Every structure is written in C-alpha cells, then in structure tokens.
C-alpha cells in the first residue's frame, strides 16, 4: 500500500510543519469495514469492498537529535472479486436472545459472508511533501467511524496543513467468502484406553541423559546467519532497527 495519506492528530501538525524528515515507526490495524455485493450478469461472483483503518506512529526529526513521535490515521480501500456460488433459500431459526427480537421471527438467506483476516502491517516508508495550497475533499476523514476516531484521543487534522506525510505500508491479509453447507460425517463410539502407558519415573535418569545429543550450537557460534523468513521475524528485525 504505497503513499497513503497520513492524517496526524492536531497537536502534531506544528511538529510536522517544522520537521526536516520523517521515518517509519509502527502501525496497528484498528478496523476493517467490509461490504459484499453481487456482480451483475456474472452469477455466483461477488465484489468484496474493504476499507482498512490504521493507527500509524512515525518519528519526526527536527533540529534536535532526538526525534518526536507523532501519531495519526491512514486509510486504504481495496476491492476483490470472489466466487461465492448461488443460493436463494430462506433460513429460519428458533434461536433466542434475551433483550433482542426473537430470532425465529427473523429471516435470512444463505448468501455468502465475507471474512477478512489481517495482521498488523509493517511501515516500509514515510516521506514529507509540501502542500500545493489547494484543499481537495478529504473523504477519508468524512467516513471515519466514531469508534475509530476514539482510538486517537483527540481530533485529527482536517488536511489544510502546510506539509503532508505519505506512508507506505506492507499488509498481509486473507479475504474469503463463507456460507453454510450440509456435510455428512461418520461418527464413531467413544474409544476407551485398554493398555497402560509404559515408562515413567522408573526409567534410569542417567540412561535418559545419555540419549540426548551434545548441544554443540550452544558452545560455538553458527557458521552462517539465517535471514528472516517469516512475517514475525521480519517485524521483530524492523523493530530492533528503529
């Protein structure tokens, strides 16, 4: 996700206007708004529209050596086209919930439900850009839910700043369509154990120790340094380099 507009909290606007540069910090995924719509003239396919809301923390460098931590919001929109099959059955349930309308009187269909799984992103880049003076409509801020704004504990910038910050994030996510389906699964009776587990405290502790390999790697440094392969290893490495 390249060059996402960064909307700082009002208390950090002056810091960004005086900053010489900004560097990446950390990002947290706050919420994902998901909407599913059928595709016209393409039966069985659905569009999944997603809007990601991120809480981003950056490091702003002024004339002093120590950076100033600034916090703000980034928004990203994404659309995918997935196959979800068809279904027009009407489903009724006798489920009861206290204090709510009786669920057995509510009708729902077996249309697919979109599910989005995502982890917190990695901040890849951040840059300062001088504002041109014009102020386009900041629709990102107009459509921010109130509970998302509550995470920042204050009002966000309206977008008429002298400088703007753009952030590039790396996001791993999985988007899928789910629907209920009938499956036939064989069921077996309970299996009770008939044999007693052998071994235990009667085993010779010295004999057990002799079967353990000598931990050479604990006494000598490794011959090669492994590069991070997983998302968690890469994120920890980025955190250490900040």
The pLDDT assigned to 156 comes to: 84
The pLDDT assigned to 168 comes to: 93
Strands, E, within 161-222: which ranges? 163-170, 173-178
Q: Which residues lie below 8 Å from residue 115, measured CB to CB, with a gap of 6+? A: 175, 176, 177, 178
Q: Which domain range does residue 170 map to?
A: 4-179+222-241
The pLDDT assigned to 154 comes to: 74
- Residue 86 placed within a domain: yes
The pLDDT assigned to 47 comes to: 93
- Residue 215 placed within a domain: no
Q: Is the dihedral of CA 81, 86, 88, 94 positive or negative?
A: negative
**For the residues of 95-150, what is the DSSP string, one character each?**
---TTS--GGG-EEE---EEEEEE---EEEEEEEEE--S-----HHHHT--HHHHG
- Residue 168 placed within a domain: yes
- Residue 214 placed within a domain: no
Q: How far is CA 170 from CA 132, 158, 217, in A?
A: 28, 25, 34
The pLDDT assigned to 29 comes to: 94
CA dist., res. 76 & res. 141, Å (int)? 12
pLDDT above 90 covers a percentage of the chain that reads 29
- Residue 194 placed within a domain: no
- Residue 213 placed within a domain: no
- Residue 186 placed within a domain: no
* Secondary structure letter of residue 228 according to DSSP: P
What is the arithmetic mean of pLDDT over 95-116?
68
Which range has highest mean pLDDT (9-23, 123-137, 210-224)? Answer: 9-23
* Entry pTM: 0.70
What is the arithmetic mean of pLDDT over 217-239?
67
What is the arithmetic mean of pLDDT over 132-150?
68
The pLDDT assigned to 115 comes to: 93
Q: Whose CA is closest to 35, among 20, 11, 51?
A: 51
Split into its structural domains, the chain has a count of: 1
Which range has highest mean pLDDT (80-84, 91-95, 141-145, 230-234)? Answer: 80-84
**Among 92-101, 178-187, 203-212, which is the least confidently predicted range?**
92-101
**Among 39-48, 58-67, 120-129, 228-237, which is the least confidently predicted range?**
228-237
Stretch (H or E) spanning 23? strand 21-38
Q: Is residue 41 pLDDT above 90, yes or no?
A: no
Average pLDDT over the chain, rounded to an integer:
80
CB 36 within 8 A of CB 133: no
Residues in the chain: 242
The pLDDT assigned to 141 comes to: 67
CA dist., res. 131 & res. 167, Å (int)? 15
The pLDDT assigned to 196 comes to: 72
Q: Is residue 89 pLDDT above 90, yes or no?
A: no
- Residue 55 placed within a domain: yes
């Amino acid at each position: 996700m390249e060059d996402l507009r960064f909307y700082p909290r009002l208390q950090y606007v002056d810091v960004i206007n005086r900053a010489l540069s900004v560097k990446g910090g950390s990002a947290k995924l706050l919420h994902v708004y998901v909407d599913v719509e059928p595709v016209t003239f393409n039966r069985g396919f659905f569009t999944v529209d997603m809007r990601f809301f991120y809480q981003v923390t950056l490091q702003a460098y002024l004339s002093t050596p120590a950076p100033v931590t600034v916090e703000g919001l980034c928004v990203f929109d994404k659309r995918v086209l997935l196959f979800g099959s068809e279904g027009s059955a009407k489903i009724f349930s006798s489920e009861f919930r206290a204090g709510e309308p009786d669920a057995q009187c509510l009708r729902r269909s077996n249309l697919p439900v979109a599910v989005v799984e995502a982890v917190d992103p990695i901040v890849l880049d951040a840059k300062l850009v001088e504002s041109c003076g014009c102020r386009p409509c900041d629709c990102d801020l107009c459509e921010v839910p109130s509970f998302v704004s509550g995470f920042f504990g204050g009002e966000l910038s309206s977008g008429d700043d002298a400088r703007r910050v753009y952030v590039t994030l790396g996001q791993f996510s999985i988007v899928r369509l789910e629907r209920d389906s009938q499956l036939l699964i064989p069921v077996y009776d309970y299996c009770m154990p008939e044999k007693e587990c052998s071994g235990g405290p009667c085993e010779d502790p010295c004999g057990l120790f002799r079967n353990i390999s000598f931990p050479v790697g604990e006494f000598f440094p490794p011959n090669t340094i492994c590069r991070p392969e997983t998302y968690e290893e890469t994120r920890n490495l980025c955190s250490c380099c900040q």
